[in-house]
Amino acid sequence: MNNDLYDKRTITESGFDEQKSTVKEWSDSLARETGRAPSYFVRTFGCQQNDRDSELAAGIFEEMGFHPAVSPDVADVVLFNTCSVRANADNRFYGHLGNLKPIRKGGRPIIGVFGCMMEQEVHVDTIKQKFPYVDFILGAGDVRVLPYALVETLSDGTGKRKTLDLTTWHGLGDDTSLPVLRADPHRALVTIMTGCNNFCSYCIVPYTRGREISRAYEKILDEARRAVELGAKEIMLLGQNVNSYGNDLRKRGEVDAPTFAELLRDISHLDGLWVVRYMTSHPKDLSDELIAVISREPRVESHIHLPLQSGSDAILRRMNRRYDAAHYLDLVRKLRSCRNGITITTDLIVGFPSETEEDFQQTLHVMEEARFDAAFTFLYSPRVGTPAADWFDESQHEVVRERFMRLVEYQNECSLASNKALEGQVLDVLVDGKSRRDETILSGRTHDDRLVNFAGVLSGSSACQKSWPNEVFDSARIDRGDIVRVLIERANVNSLDGIQIL
């Protein structure tokens, strides 16, 4: 390896290009010798930020001459993108990693791990000690180090050396210059900022993703514009707290750096776009300016994800959320009146340390007032290194579990009622593809982010199978990314069923 191409654990842009070319030469020679190009398999845990990083990793693999493999056991390289947000994400990852041990022979598949868990010493040590067959580890989002990791691993050949720890390595450059292979070509995930400054007392993210860094407005707009030109109908803007976009730029002297509301407005004006989504909004930073943009700009989604976490002011204080229930409900009222039919979804944590029945009742009370259209509900999970982990009392497990069931039951009622109100209506749906459960059902999302299933077959399929009676439509015309009209026939808790109307 030419030492000019990296310096002090930083991969330069030219180093990145050269390392990619080196791996590509290896791929090409393998293809010549064996008649088959090498393949990769990326398994992603966690949030959309990780989904996005995996799309970049896939883009880099493709540029290096790799093809996607259908499963890890037939892949030449398996890459895990890990999440640390709750214990079950950690455990699922270790389960999948363990499953690779019997498959691995003669150093193949090459195994790499990156993502949030690799920012924590405890997991880095566990990998080195208990899973020495992992070839390399990288930090969260450090896809620019991937080609270098492969160059080093391939030059070793035997697969017998210790895990190559590159977690302190980083790459230079903006996302716009990276290749990307989008999981859904019609939906472009666009990172507007990384990291988080909020330090909610239960949350590991600020420790794994570091402080907030906003990308330049022009780069974001450029990336979104290019995605729309290539056919994206939906842009999803990503950040742990999108409402604080630009704060760091302004602090560094860029006094004119746009606010999130301005960025969202400008993206929504891109010609050819159907909807722009964004997540996540922190209630303490949701501005009137943003509410005005939501109310005025038709392409801004008719939905907001606004995590409540708890409805008890005492718990919110201990969580370091920096808003109270009254402020939250005030935002809900403003949002509901700023746009007709806007859906509001949330995240809720049950069993935060010291939560009493009274605190829990306050959460239910806020839920009654807010009438969330959907919610992600979590049992509190202690994360080593966060303040709340020291306050955790495991003996409350049964009490907490019972509260959790009550909360889910109530939310299911609200979600169903919200969906029921749409029965009989015709809605525009952006088609995502086949439903996961049934090949003959297509699924998509409405502007207000509801999941809709309807009978149909994607164009390109050999036969038009109709699973539901009495429908007349030319399903061969439907493609991913199409916007179709669907008559809603039945509401479920988490989805709507309907038929396409021509």
Instruction: Considering the complex, state which of residue 205 and residue 484 has its C-beta at the smaller distance from ligand SF4.
Output: 205
How far apart, in whole angstroms, are the C-alpha atoms of residue 397 and residue 241? 30
Q: At what angle do helices 13-34 and 48-63 cross, to 10 degrees?
A: 60
199 binds, among ligand F3S, ligand SAH, ligand SF4, none (CB under 5 to 8 A by kind): ligand SF4
CB-based contact 306:263 (threshold 8 Å): no
| Minimum CB distance to ligand SF4, residue 349 (Å) | 9
Q: Among 372, 378, 404, 454, which residue interacts with ligand SAH (rule: CB under 6 A)?
A: 378
Which among 44-52, 184-192, 304-312, 399-407 is the span making contact with ligand F3S, rule CB under 6 A? 44-52
Q: Among 347, 423, 428, 479, which residue interacts with ligand SAH (rule: CB under 6 A)?
A: 347
With binding defined as CB under 6 A, does residue 50 bind ligand F3S?
yes
With binding defined as CB under 6 A, does residue 247 bind ligand SF4?
no
H helices present in 387-488, as ranges: 397-420
Instruction: Considering the complex, state which of residue 282 and residue 403 has its C-beta at the smaller distance from ligand SAH.
Output: 282
Buried b (16+ CB within 10 A) or exposed e, 184-220: bebbbbbbbbbbbebebbbbbbbbbbbebebbebebb
Instruction: Considering the complex, state which of residue 27 and residue 240 has its C-beta at the smaller distance from ligand SF4.
Output: 240
How far apart, in whole angstroms, are the C-alpha atoms of residue 277 and residue 291? 14
φ, ψ of residue 397 in degrees (nearest 5): -50, -50
How does DSSP assign 201-234, residue by residue? TT--HHHHH-S-EEPPHHHHHHHHHHHHHTT-SE
Residues 6+ positions from 249 with CB-CB distance below 8 Å: 214, 216, 257
Which among 77-85, 299-307, 326-334, 369-377 is the span making contact with ligand F3S, rule CB under 6 A? 77-85
116 binds, among ligand SAH, ligand SF4, ligand F3S, none (CB under 5 to 8 A by kind): ligand F3S
| Minimum CB distance to ligand F3S, residue 205 (Å) | 5
Q: What character string, x for contact with ligand SF4 (CB under 6 A) and - otherwise, covers 282-311?
A: x-----------------------------
How far apart, in whole angstroms, are the C-alpha atoms of residue 98 and residue 109? 13
Q: Which of 472, 359, 373 is nearest to 415 (CA)?
A: 373
Q: Is 348 exposed, middle or buried (0-12, 13-18, 19+ CB in 10 A)?
A: buried
84 binds, among ligand SAH, ligand SF4, ligand F3S, none (CB under 5 to 8 A by kind): ligand F3S
With binding defined as CB under 6 A, does residue 280 bind ligand F3S?
no
With binding defined as CB under 6 A, does residue 446 bind ligand SF4?
no
How does DSSP assign 330-387, residue by residue? HHHHHHHHHSTT-EEEEEEEE--TT--HHHHHHHHHHHHHH--SEEEEEE----TTSG
Q: Which of 316, 319, 291, 315 is nearest to 304 (CA)?
A: 291
In residues, how long is the chain?
502
With binding defined as CB under 6 A, does residue 85 bind ligand SAH?
yes
Q: Could you say which residues in the range 208-247 bind ligand F3S, by CB under 6 A?
A: 208-209
Q: Could you say which residues in the range 151-210 bind ligand F3S, by CB under 6 A?
A: 204-205, 208-209
49 binds, among ligand F3S, ligand SAH, ligand SF4, none (CB under 5 to 8 A by kind): ligand F3S
Q: Catalog residues that contact ligand F3S under the rule CB under 6 A.
A: 46-47, 49-50, 83-85, 116, 204-205, 208-209
Q: Catalog residues that contact ligand SF4 under the rule CB under 6 A.
A: 196, 198-200, 203, 205-206, 240-241, 282
Q: Catalog residues that contact ligand SAH under the rule CB under 6 A.
A: 85-86, 202-203, 205, 240-241, 280, 282, 307, 309, 347, 349, 378, 380-381, 383
